[in-house]
């Protein structure tokens, strides 16, 4: 079974907030001007929770974060707090409708496009800080503290940067706040300025600093002085940042963006297409190896080939590449990220390959996944299907029976409540039935 990641509707049992003021630290006001008047009288900054009625993370904030006593006290003591509904529904109260114009104005003024967006505004309307997305109580309290500290306020730092008055020591705080506000383009611009005007003039001993290394990891280029640390002193970088494999990931990203992608692709996003029908992989490997070393070229080329042949739907080549890569470098089979990668790759091998030797190699890796992650019904389903396609019918039925057993409480609950069983769950008993009847669980190629 391929695992599809979707943003679930968090805290679906929480009712929609239908008024601008929802109790607790939040107050009701007839207009934005009234909020500003209250903030000026109380000499407090304004906290705005920009939410939408359909937004699951917004409801999760209402359920888990705002009721926290420390969060409520911090909001009450330091801010004038309002909730502003940004969408419009037929069930909106007169109070919400009265805010339609102000909500639209706030969205335009501060670029609110994602929910929840948290805005912190001075009494005179000057933006101070901004963050996006659900936060647990501890993280949210840290955000509230940052909103009160000029050395951490997003808009305060951004203004200083744009006017050329931001000290280099403050760049990490600026980039952190930009990323929390989902302002990726501005963060990249600030990092580039920092690299060009400051970091590239330091010596390597000064650059070997965890905050600095993390700051530039996503944006460093091969021409930047600090990139030499990621390329030549990877072990020390990983130890300094307490993140094994970080240096290799950065090197692979740079190699891919600067050396591989320009050779393979034209266009970006949905418009991306292959620039060449048959890449010169040997020549590309030689060129990259001479510049970055063979040890850095090989893993980047593995991923590039997988990407290229996936778009070409050359599934046999993709299968061999995944399996060769895992055999050579290993892969993480614990935790969500590595497990997801292996499971989805093995599922695609099951769907598109008939060669028993390929299926056998894939089953070995999937067996490791289910051993390291017991009780994961979707992983077990993948393993059972691969075994079945290999011809190991009895073993496949045994594993698929276990997968169905694991989801039986969910199946029974849906049936008892007269609800439709979700397709991704119904697929398992359907597969088990097909295995018992000896018919394919895949679409024959």
Q: What is the pLDDT of residues 124-183, one digit of tens each?
A: 889 999 999 999 999 999 999 999 999 999 999 888 888 888 887 787 788 778 777 777
Higher pLDDT, 445 or 416: 416
3-state secondary structure of 416: helix
Per-residue pLDDT, averaged over 354-369, amounts to 96
CATH number of the domain located at residue range(s) 314-445 in this protein:
1.25.40
**241: its two tokens:** 């940042």
CB neighbours (10 Å) of residue 336?
11
**Average per-residue pLDDT in the chain?**
89
CB neighbours (10 Å) of residue 221?
13
> Are 295 and 289 spatial neighbours (Cβ–Cβ below 8 Å)?
no
**3: its two tokens:** 């695992």
Query: How many Å apart are CA 141 and CA 51, to the nearest integer?
Result: 19
Backbone angles phi, psi at 277, to 5 degrees: -80, -40
For 20, 97, 195, 430, the CA distances from 102, given in Å and listed in that order, are 12, 10, 40, 53
**320: its two tokens:** 């061999």
Element (H, E) at 49: strand 46-51
> Are 255 and 263 spatial neighbours (Cβ–Cβ below 8 Å)?
no
For 27, 168, 206, 207, 230, the CA distances from 202, given in Å and listed in that order, are 50, 12, 6, 7, 15
Beta strands in 72-184 (DSSP E): 80-85, 117-121, 127-132
For residue 87, the 8-state DSSP code is S
The candidate with the shortest Cα–Cα distance to 178, out of 156, 195, 198, is: 156
Query: How many Å apart are CA 99 and CA 17, to the nearest integer?
Result: 14
3-state secondary structure of 117: strand
Q: Give the pLDDT band of residue 6 (cuts 50, 70, 90).
A: very low
3-state secondary structure of 332: coil
Q: What is the pLDDT of residues 285-334, one digit of tens each?
A: 999 999 999 999 999 999 999 999 999 999 999 999 999 999 999 887 77
Element (H, E) at 311: helix 294-311
- Provide the pLDDT for residue 10: 25
The candidate with the shortest Cα–Cα distance to 212, out of 172, 154, 158, 166, is: 172
Q: Is the pLDDT of residue 348 over 90?
A: yes
- Provide the pLDDT for residue 12: 29
Query: How many Å apart are CA 186 and CA 188, to the nearest integer?
Result: 5
Q: Is the pLDDT of residue 254 over 80?
A: yes
The candidate with the shortest Cα–Cα distance to 182, out of 334, 275, 50, 332, is: 50
- The answer, yes or no, to whether the previous bond of 116 is cis (omega within 30 of 0) is yes
Per-residue pLDDT, averaged over 345-350, amounts to 97
The residue ranges of every structural domain in the chain are 32-148, 314-445
CB neighbours (10 Å) of residue 98?
15
Q: Is the pLDDT of residue 32 over 70?
A: yes
Tell how far CA 148 is from the center of its chain: 28
- Provide the pLDDT for residue 158: 86
> Are 125 and 36 spatial neighbours (Cβ–Cβ below 8 Å)?
yes
Q: Give the pLDDT band of residue 22 (cuts 50, 70, 90).
A: low
Q: Is the pLDDT of residue 5 over 50?
A: no
Query: How many Å apart are CA 191 and CA 258, to the nearest integer?
Result: 18
Which CATH number among 1.10.287.1080, 2.30.40.10, 3.30.300.30, 3.40.30.10 corresponds to the domain 32-148? 3.40.30.10
**114: its two tokens:** 């994602």
pTM to 2 decimal places:
0.69
- Provide the pLDDT for residue 8: 28
> Are 51 and 17 spatial neighbours (Cβ–Cβ below 8 Å)?
yes
Q: How many CA atoms lie within 13 A of 268 on its CB side?
A: 2
Higher pLDDT, 336 or 301: 301
Q: What is the pLDDT of residues 68-118, one digit of tens each?
A: 999 999 999 999 999 999 999 999 999 999 999 999 999 998 889 899 999
- Provide the pLDDT for residue 18: 34
> Are 382 and 366 spatial neighbours (Cβ–Cβ below 8 Å)?
yes
Backbone angles phi, psi at 266, to 5 degrees: -125, 145
Per-residue pLDDT, averaged over 423-434, amounts to 96
Tell how far CA 165 is from the center of its chain: 33
Provide the residue count of the chain: 445
Same fold, 32-148 and 314-445: no
- Provide the pLDDT for residue 197: 78
């Amino acid at each position: 079974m391929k695992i599809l990641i979707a943003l679930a509707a968090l805290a679906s049992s929480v009712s929609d907030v239908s008024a601008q003021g929802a109790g607790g630290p939040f107050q009701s006001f007839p207009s934005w001007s009234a909020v500003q008047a209250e903030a000026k009288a109380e000499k407090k900054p304004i906290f705005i929770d920009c939410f939408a009625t359909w937004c699951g993370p917004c409801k999760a904030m209402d359920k888990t974060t705002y009721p926290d006593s420390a969060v409520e006290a911090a909001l009450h003591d330091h801010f004038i707090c309002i909730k502003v509904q940004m969408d419009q529904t037929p069930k909106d109260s007169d109070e919400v409708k009265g805010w339609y114009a102000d909500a639209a104005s706030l969205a335009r003024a501060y670029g609110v496009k994602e929910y929840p967006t948290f805005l912190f505004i001075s009494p005179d309307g000057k933006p101070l800080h901004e963050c996006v997305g659900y936060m647990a109580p501890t993280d949210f309290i840290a955000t509230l503290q940052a909103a009160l500290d000029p050395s951490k306020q997003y808009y305060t730092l951004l203004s200083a940067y744009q006017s050329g008055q931001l000290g280099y020591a403050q760049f990490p705080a600026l980039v952190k706040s930009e990323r929390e506000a989902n302002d990726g383009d501005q963060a990249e611009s600030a990092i580039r300025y920092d690299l060009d005007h400051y970091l590239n003039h330091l010596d390597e001993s000064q650059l070997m600093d965890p905050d600095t290394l993390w700051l530039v990891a996503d944006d460093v280029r091969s021409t930047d002085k600090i990139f030499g640390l990621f390329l030549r002193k990877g072990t020390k970088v990983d130890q300094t940042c307490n993140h094994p494999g970080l240096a290799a990931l950065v090197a692979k990203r740079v190699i891919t963006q600067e050396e591989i992608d320009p050779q393979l692709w034209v266009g970006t996003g949905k418009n991306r297409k292959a620039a060449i029908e048959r890449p010169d992989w040997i020549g590309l490997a030689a060129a990259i190896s001479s510049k970055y070393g063979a040890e850095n070229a090989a893993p980047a080329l593995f991923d590039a080939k997988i990407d290229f042949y996936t778009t070409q739907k050359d599934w046999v080549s993709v299968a061999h590449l995944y399996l060769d890569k895992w055999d050579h470098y290993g892969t993480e089979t614990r935790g969500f990220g590595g497990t997801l990668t292996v499971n989805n790759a093995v599922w695609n091998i099951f769907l598109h390959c008939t060669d028993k030797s390929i299926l056998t190699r894939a089953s070995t890796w999937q067996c490791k996944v289910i051993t390291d992650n017991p009780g994961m019904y979707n992983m077990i389903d993948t393993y059972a299907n691969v075994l079945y396609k290999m011809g190991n019918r009895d073993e496949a039925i045994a594993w698929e029976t276990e997968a169905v057993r694991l989801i039986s409480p969910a199946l029974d609950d849906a049936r008892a409540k007269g609800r439709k069983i979700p397709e991704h769950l119904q697929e398992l008993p359907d597969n088990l039935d097909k295995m018992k009847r000896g018919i394919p669980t895949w679409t024959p190629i």
